[in-house]
Structure 1
Amino acid sequence: MRYSVITFDLDGTLVDTAAEIAEAANRTLVECGLPRQPVEVVKQFIGAGTRQMMQGLLAHVLRQFPNHQLKLNETEMLNRLDHHYSCTAGMDPQPYPGCVESLQRLRASGVRLACLTNKEHRFATKVLHAAGLSSLFELVIGGDSLPQRKPNPQPVLHILHVLGGEVQRAAHVGDSRTDVQTAKAAGVAAWAVPWGYNAGEPIEATQPERIFMSLPELAEHVVQANQAHASATLVRA
């Protein structure tokens, strides 16, 4: 098996951004007249996009305060969230261990890389730049880049079209059920990591084809597979 294109989710897969997302969400909650929430609570709603995260978090908090009258309507709330996240995005993203080195190794081995996230594109690029990852991706697709977002397969298929990849030689890597569903719908290998934001659900429950316990392990798997494919091709020649 030779892998030519690999797409990576961003939040919870490559970088830990929960703190900066939670800070933007909490600033918005306070403006709505609601109490701040722990980062661990906010994590449960990360993955579908910033606005979807806020809507889920708000519904969760309002269940605790059912008679609360919001100081902002939904449009105002989401506009304030955009403002706050424009301030906190890229504030302190923490790449997971071996992230930079693993992506560099994949690039050096000839694999083409893209970042595929449901985070809005303008925020995704800020996070990637702050984390020192921008130069490692040929393409960044955010949740607002195309008509459809994950788990629809369109973003993966769009990336393969742009980068010249084939589904049988591609993989998508993520930390959530959404990522696994996206990969399977697109027909690419569905790979997962166990340390991200999967709403408290064990990643095993999403039934990915393979779970990698570290990003260096993933890079080693791809490089070894591609080298074995190259050797077999030479033998046949």
Structure 2
Amino acid sequence: MHPILKDIRLISFDLDGTLVDSVPDLAAAVDASLGEQGLPPAGEARVRDWVGNGSWKLVERTLTFAQGHMPGEGALARAHEAFLKHYGRDPGSRTRLYPGVREALDALQAGDRILTLVTNKPFAFIRPILSQFGLERHFALCLGGDSLPQKKPDPAPLLHLAAHFDMPVQACLMVGDSRHDIDAGRAAGFRTLAVPYGYNHGEPVQLSRPDALVDSLAELV
């Protein structure tokens, strides 16, 4: 086992950019919703830099790009509803599991650690994505961006998981691909581990000073 796992009993994983590459499906939904409004598509490359703060923020960034200015609340709410409609129709057909993820989750679960998921993605989309890869059985509890009033980088979701399983924060690890994951983990008192291949708004996740970095989650086991 990787040294970062010493005395760790609960592991919280981010989803998008950590376990799966979901940007192709997110970009398709973004562009479909823009097309409904007669606006130009954003494209996958731009969306890759916009994800990580939940669907509302993604749509806000999308409209700001397409219109050249910040949208009003009404326009943003309508665009967000359209995005959720399109994404809900097909949240996973283009989404891919990153190499090493399945092997890591299998081994960590067999090692009697509690595995949890904490993402800023709306909760309704978590199960469809995990199910298509047969991963839902690995996680004892999943939290979406709308499961609590707060979401990452606020530490509240991580503290909620630790309290739910009656686990001291010193025995918990946050695994993610962005500064929001590392900031949330650090604020919660969790150990932090980063992967460099995900979405971090165009900046190296190493700059967030995680406690450890692995090129693949397979390195954990």
Question: Normalised by the size of structure 2, how large is the TM-score?
Answer: 0.92
1:209, distance to aligned residue in structure 2 (A): 1.2
Return 5+ residue gaps in structure 1 as ranges: 221-237
Q: Which has the larger radius of gyration?
A: 1
Q: Any runs of at least 4 consecutive aligned residues in structure 1 with deviations exceeding 3 A, and if so which?
A: none
Name the residue aligned to 1:79: 81
Deviations 1:84-107 (A, max 9, x none): 010121223211111111101000
Establish whether residue 153 from structure 1 lines up as the match of residue 151 from structure 2: no
Q: State whether structure 2 residue 60 is matched by structure 1 residue 52.
A: no
Partner of 2:26: 21
Alpha-carbon distance in structure 1 between the residues aligned to 2:103 and 2:193: 19
Q: TM-score, normalised by structure 1?
A: 0.86
Gaps (5+ residues) in structure 2? Answer: 1-5
Deviation of 1:214 after TM superposition, in Å, equals: 0.7
1:9 matched to 2:11? The reply is no
CA positional deviation for 1:16: 0.5
**Comparing 28-37 and 18-27, the one that deviates more:** 28-37
Could you tell me which of 40, 44, 47 is aligned with 1:42?
47
> Is the Cα contact below 8 Å between 1:90 and 1:128 reproduced in 2?
no
Tell me the SS of whatever aligns to 2:116. Answer: strand
Note the alpha carbon deviations across 1:6-55, whole angstroms, 9 max, x for none: 00000000001000000000001111211112211111110011121111
In structure 2, what is the equivalent of residue 111 of structure 1? Answer: 113
Tell me the residue number matched to 1:138. Answer: 140
Give the fraction of aligned pairs with identical amino acids, expressed as a percent.
37
Superposed displacement of residue 74, structure 1: 2.3
Q: Is the 8 A contact 2:109 2:138 kept in 1?
A: yes
Establish whether residue 95 from structure 1 lines up as the match of residue 127 from structure 2.
no
Letter in 1 for 2:186: K
Q: Distance in 2 between matches of 1:53 and 1:119?
A: 10
Question: How many Å separate the matches in 1 of 2:110 and 2:183?
Answer: 29
Distance 1:140 1:7 in 2: 9
Aligned twin of 1:179: 181
State the Cα deviation string for residues 169-225 of structure 1 (Å, max 9, x = none). 11100000100100000000111000001011011111111111111112x2xxxxx
Instruction: Indicate the RMSD between aligned Cα atoms, in angstroms.
Output: 1.6
Q: Does the CA contact (< 8 Å) of 2:174 and 2:190 recur in 1?
A: yes
Counterpart AA for 1:51: W
Q: State whether residues 167 and 187 of structure 1, in contact with CA within 8 Å, keep that contact through their aligned partners in structure 2.
A: yes
Deviation at 1:137, TM superposition (A): 0.5
| 2:180 counterpart letter in structure 1 | T
Give SS of 1:7's match.
Answer: strand
| Residue correspondences, number | 214
Is 1:193 aligned with 2:189?
no
User: Take 1:131 and 1:117, find their aligned partners in 2: how far apart are those partners?
Assistant: 17
> 2:142 aligns to what SS in structure 1?
strand
One-letter identity of the residue aligned with 1:94 = R
